[in-house]
A = this chain, B = another copy of it.
Amino acid sequence: MPFHCDFNNRLMLGHLGNYMLNAADFHSRDRKFGFDYLTTIHRAWVLSRFAMEIEKMPKAYDKFYIETWVESAMRYFTKRNFKVSSLDGKEVYAYGKSIWAMIDTRSRQPQNILEVNDGLISDYIDKEYPCPIADVSRVIINDDLQKCRSMHPKYSDLDINGHVNSVKYIDHILDLMPAQTYKETPLKRFEIAYVAEAREGDVLNFYKEETPEAVNVKITKGDGEETETCRARMIF
């Protein structure tokens, strides 16, 4: 898809993230855990953490498929992994790991995943299929990051629930680095931990710290009193 590629002729990470999350939804939907079924019982998945590791980004016209599977399910969290490969399976483009919670859409409170569909999710767990990247972490970062941008989320930033879209956060975080960075050094790992939801009226503040190992990012919402919405790490 050339119109999903950056100036390196490679798929943009945000689009890859989008493809993975859509694959996750199709996979869970086929197993009675999709957003559309969950809505009818006032439940929704909330993405809590997400990590992607790139072996080699697909180029324009490279066909790939995405595998996704549930690695584990506990009361309040389930782990879902991803593998992106070429059609012949010979080339691995990327891996992904994610952690999801389930909430009640009225109270926004966490719900017991194992109570939905009588614990059916346990039937789909595959602990063995390999996803050889580091676990998705809480992304622990220092507290003295430099504020580098503030913005108001706009129409194209908002998801189906009117919250800032998980993937748009990824785009905004990548945009904190000059485009030139991505010409010189391919991004190896991107991980993000979502802490609180933000909406259209909120102001988002972006904080950044560059260390030799990584670029760390914290995003808060609020003007004056700030609450953390997410934190991320990019490893080049």
Does A35 sit within 8 A of B, measured CB to CB?
A: yes
**A21, closest chain B residue (CB):** B3
In chain B, what residue has the closest Cβ to A47?
A: B3
- Cβ contacts A131-159/B at 8 Å (1 or 0 each): 00000000000000000000000111111
The answer on a CB contact under 8 Å between A25 and B7 is no
Interface residues of A in 174-193 (CB under 8 A from B): 174-175, 177-182
CA A165 to CA B175, docked complex, whole Å:
14
- Complex Cα distance, B3 from A166, in Å, reads 9
Taken together as a complex, chains A and B put the C-alpha atoms of A29 and B36 apart, in Å, by 36
Contact A14 B156 (CB under 8 A): yes
This chain: copies in complex: 2
**Closest CB-CB distance, A2 to chain B, in whole Å?**
5
| Of the residues B7, B155, B165, contact of A182 by C-beta under 8 Å | B155
Chain B CB within 8 A of A66 CB: no
A55 sits at the interface (CB 8 A): no
Task: Give A7 to B1 CA distance when docked, in angstroms.
Answer: 26
Pick from B158, B160, B172, B180: contact of A179, CB under 8 Å: B158
How far apart sit A27 and B153, CA to CA, in the bound complex (Å)? 35
Query: Would you give the shortest CB distance from A130 to chain B, in whole angstroms?
Result: 26
Q: Is the CB of A154 within 8 A of B175?
A: yes
Extra inter-chain contacts (13) besides given A3-B18, A9-B160, A178-B200, CB under 8 Å: A1-B18, A2-B160, A3-B21, A3-B22, A3-B25, A6-B158, A7-B159, A7-B160, A36-B60, A155-B174, A155-B177, A157-B175, A179-B200
Closest 7 CB pairs of A and B: A154-B175, A156-B171, A7-B162, A155-B179, A3-B21, A1-B22, A179-B200
